Structure 1
Amino acid sequence: MTFHFQSLKSLAKHHHFLSKKLKNSDFFLVGGGVRDLVLGLTKAPIDIDITLVGNPLEIYDTIDKEQLSHFITEKFGTITLIPKDQKTEIKYEITPLRAETGYGDFRHPEEIFWSDDLLLDFQRRDFRINAMYYSTKQLKAPSYETEKTLDEADLIKILQKEGFLYLSNTTTLIIQDKKLISQLFPQGKLDSDFLYYLLDIQRSAYFFGNKKTQEKSHIQLNILIDPAQGLQDIATKKLQTVGNPDTRFQEDALRLLRALRFVNVINHKLLQQNKKKKIDPTQKVRLFDFESETRKSIKNNHALLENIAKERIREELMKAFSNGNPFAMVALIDEAELLALIFPALALTKHIDQPIRYHPFDVYSHILLTLYHLQAINENPLVRFSMLYHDVGKVGQYAEYGKNLSKEEIRLLLASPLNHRISGAELAKEDFKKLGFSNKEIEEIQRYIREHHTPGEILLAHPQNWEKKLRKMLSENGFERVNNLLDINIADRMGMYNPLQNASDLSDSRYLKELLVKLENEEGQFTSKDLAVKGKDLMEHFKLKPGKIIGELLQVALDWVLGDIKNRNTQKLIFANLANHLKNKGI
């Protein structure tokens, strides 16, 4: 089913709660929360946008702030409310109805005018599917002598002809005609008499979807105000700007990236929903695309993204890599000619061929394939970004290979900063810093890039040594990081499509994952803090003074104990082992 109007009833409780807090019931819920309910992508939105008539400072002063975390951004008049007693963190963002002019920096309006006209407010919004408003009212149920069940085409046809319709089974009034909207909400406030008039002039009781309904004397009416005809875009699965796309993107260039993210995340959720429902395979889910003029405008205006603050770009990328399909997001970024601007090191991997015996694709294609496989097994966005950059250092490394190096020169190259694991980590640092990622996030990404070959190196050792080497890796990195590195290893191998190696047989990598769980459950992350000896014990036993040697001995002890924690972690055995070590060093 294309439209899920029955889900709108979940907004009534938010409207009721906010009516008490705002001491006013004349307001609208708008934006992504309304959109996702109509699309059936959620039953309980947690980020809810609200708009109403008024001055933001006056609205803020009026709010009953008891049991609320709250703050106001005075420059743009946005009020944020977070209830303290909710099990699920719900965030309300309130911005008064307004009109905007002048976007000299392609980011912020130069002038904001507070308005009482909903039709002015919708014109400043980005995409038509995001410009649907919700209100609600309890009233006497309308009655009709005849009934008619509508399909999607019927519903759209009636809306285009009449400008409104009421659906009895979901108690939803949909209104699109701008003149009717102005009459129903003069000065942004509901006219109850005109509301009853609209319900009375409809000739039949219309039903959409499940026809079952209980007759009640009074109903909680859901009012969906759709002046931009977002429902038509949901029906055709097209993302289209409100008004001229060039104007919308030049007002706020971040909308270029938001457009890609909306299509990416919505499509991912539609596919996930389809998979869960096990829908008839002959009834494939229809995905969103861009309306043709919107698509052209994204490409034509792509360079404007350079004007956007890096933190805003990071936020969009994190949302796509956390909640969407990263593989498809990168493809959309590439198609929109934004790849070199957002991920410059990645863009340079295009057409960099690799040895066919290892990778029958260029570096860029291999990276995208590995990302595709990784996102199926790992949801951590930083791990996904690491996969995106794990081989970008090959551009410089392969450039050196082209100089016909000898085996010894290649060995020296792989031990140098031009090794793609080292250079790739530095390229990631440079690019992700420009995107506004924190130092902590960048260090995590770099760590995975530098270590992405480590699981493969364990597998090259004799199988009897796998457990010892994996235990050491667990000691140095912790369970989560090692598990992420094993996922990266699996995805890297799946993206090879190697014609001469059995890369598709991942039984050894999967065994390492099982072994990791076993070690975590039985031993945990064993570090130098868990040794039976401490630094002071070494100084007393070997008559040593504080210095670098103590740290070296503790590391030697740790490496030895990790070979058999259960039997070796005693002071007596550790001292004996270290005595031999010191003897061999001539100390």
Structure 2
Amino acid sequence: MEFQIPEKVQYIIDTLVDHGFEAYAVGGCVRDMILGKNPEDWDITTSAKPFEVKKVFKRTVDTGIEHGTVTVLLDKDHYEVTTYRLDGIYEDNRRPKEVSFTSSLEEDLKRRDFTINAMAYNPQLGIVDLFGGVKDLKNRLIRCVGNPMERFDEDALRILRAVRFSAQLDFQIEEATKLAIKEKAGLLKNISAERIRMELTKLLVSDNPDRLRLLYELGISKVILPEFDRMMTTPQKNIHHAYSVGEHTIKAVSAVAGSVSENRFSARERTILRWTMLLHDIEKPSTITLGKDGQNHFYGHQEKGAATAKRILKELKFDNDTLNAVVHLVKWHDYRFDLTPKGMRKAAAKIGKEYMDLLFEVNYADTCGKNPETNKDKFKKLEEAKALYKEIIEKNECVSLRDLKVSGKDLIEAGFKPGKSMGIILNRLLETVIADPSLNHKESLIDLARSWKDN
């Protein structure tokens, strides 16, 4: 097989070869080339030692020199060049205590996680595939290099990476690798929250987030998200539902934000929406009751779920922006829209204009995971809500204090004293304008405020 690689990658490989060293593109970029995708990152492996790489190229940065990695700078681009290496003893199920360099490409490839990531490519020599990576790509399999038990003992994050690659590539996990995951899943307790967050997010935003089910089946979620296990075993005996809480959640996650290629939402919004659907019913297991009607009910699961979502996202070290958005949407995910213009203005005022389009998407996905025999009316009501809200936006009607044509400063200039009472007045004016948008004029609002003051 022959592939077109970027000019600068070719230059680095050629330069190293011209100086008497071996050099190859390696890992994920080779996998992606074989799959016909454009690699996002290009990693280069070489027999040259780090100090030799630094001698060959004018501009370098010691990004991970103790592990053999030097970053080569070419114009504004940078490429990681890593010396063939052998990993020493792994003491923390994540990183080797020490590494040693080798002149053998085979030894370097042997230490990698999966066969599909353990291939190298050199334009002159072609693909180096010592462990059946090409065959596994053809058969759509995730398989560990060598003994899977050893690979997971070395780096437990590989357990989660196996499921993530399965979701991203729509591949199956090979049976021996699966068995090793079940055996070694407990090692994930040694992995940092940041790493787990990154892998879970990549899984969630992929086109196959239903691979969440594998987390449960292979004993992974029991270690990193035990709440998900409880959802998987909680039934929903209710006319609106046809699946357990967990299966409903998986269907809702799969339905939200569409496929990656549709590009309907930004990367940030996609992350928010997928995490919202994963966590939206997280507290249903703890709030389940059986009513006199013989139906399961989950009173208060929204507020309780928002608190739990906040705790989980904090533990996973999410940024505040994402955390706050997910928690907010979990809290309001079950909001019942009053299908009138006033009702939709109230909803926007309560929930926030910046969240309305996301909430509509949450509502749609939530409905997709419910009973197909009873959800037609729910979809119809959602479309009505969206149409009413669209009209409000087109008319530029007031739904927040920012939209109000009078401000605290205006009231002070009109003789009102600053303080708590002014906040009460502004909120009362907002309620008035939400009820009747035609009143949103500075002079009439000040007159109205004065009439309240006089009374």
Counterpart CA distance in 2 for 1:512 and 1:75 is 58
- Residues 385-444 of structure 1, C-alpha deviations (whole Å, 9 max, x = no match): 11111111222222xx35989xxxx9xx95xxxx11111112112223333323332222
Contact 1:345 1:431 in 2 (8 A): no
Contact 2:242 2:371 in 1 (8 A): yes
Residues 325 and 446 (structure 1 numbering): CA distance in 2 closer, same or farther, change over 3 Å?
same
Structure 1 residues 510, 95: closer, same or farther in 2, change over 3 A?
farther
Partners of 2:155 and 2:10 lie apart in 1 by 33
Task: Return the match for 1:47 from 18, 25, 41.
Answer: 41
What residue in structure 1 maps to residue 86 of structure 2?
99
RMSD: 3.0
Residue 112 of structure 1: how far off its partner (Å): 0.6
Shift of 1:524: 8.6
1:341-388 Cα shifts (integer Å, max 9, x gaps): 222222222332334223233222222222222253766022111111
Q: Describe the superposition over 1:153-184 as per-residue Cα deviations: whole angstroms up to 9, x where unpaired.
A: xxxxxxxxxxxxxxxxxxxx6xxxxxxxxxxx
The answer to whether residue 324 in structure 2 is matched with residue 447 in structure 1 is no
5 Å-filtered alignment, 1:139-538, equals: 223-267=126-170, 288-328=171-211, 330-376=212-258, 380-398=270-288, 401=289, 419-454=300-335, 457-458=336-337, 461-472=338-349, 476-478=352-354, 481-497=355-371, 499=373, 501-503=374-376, 506-520=379-393, 523=396, 527-538=400-411
1:140 is matched with none
Which TM-score applies when normalising by structure 1? 0.69
Give the residue type in structure 2 aligned to 1:384: R
For residue 293 of structure 1, report the CA deviation from its aligned partner: 1.3
1:282-323 CA distance string (max 9 Å, x none): xxxxxx322221111111111111111111111111222223
Cα distance change of structure 1 residues 526 and 346 upon mapping to structure 2, 3 Å threshold: same
Answer yes or no: is the 8 Å Cα contact 2:157–2:191 preserved in 1: yes
* Distance across 1 between alignment mates of 2:159 and 2:275: 20
Find the residue that maps to 1:506 and give its secondary structure. Answer: helix
Residue 263 of structure 1: how far off its partner (Å): 1.4
CA offset at residue 490 of structure 1? 1.0
Which one-letter code corresponds to 1:290 in the other structure? I
Is the contact between residue 358 and residue 496 of structure 1 (CA under 8 Å) also seen in structure 2? yes
Cα distance in 1 for partners of 2:74, 2:420 equals 53
* Runs of 5+ unmatched residues, structure 2: none
Letter of the aligned partner of 1:393 in structure 2? E
| CA shift in 2, pair 1:518/1:252, >3 Å | same
Deviation at 1:532, TM superposition (A): 2.7
Aligned to 2:423: 551
The match for 2:98 is 111
Q: SS of the residue aligned with 2:278?
A: helix
SS, match of residue 532 in structure 1: coil
Pick the aligned partner of 1:573 from 439, 444, 450: 444
| Structure 1 residue 52: Cα displacement | 0.7
Q: Distance between the aligned counterparts of 2:375 and 2:358, measured in 1?
A: 22
Q: Is the 8 A contact 1:471 1:562 kept in 2?
A: no
Deviations 1:101-160 (CA, angstroms, capped at 9, x unpaired): 2012111112211111111111111111111111124xxxxxxxxxxxxxxxxxxxxxxx
Query: Structure 1 354/578 Cα, relative in aligned 2: closer, same or farther at 3 Å?
Result: farther
The aligned amino acid for 2:334 is H
AA in 2 matched with 1:553: I
Distance in structure 1 (CA, Å) of the matches to 2:34 and 2:286? 49
CA shift, 1:520, in A, is: 4.2
**C-alpha distance in 2 between matches for 1:504 and 1:494:** 12
Query: 2:58 aligns to what?
Result: 64
Q: Distance in 1 between matches of 2:64 and 2:444?
A: 64
Letter in 1 for 2:401: S
CA contact (8 A) 2:24 2:45 kept: yes
TM (norm. structure 2) is: 0.87
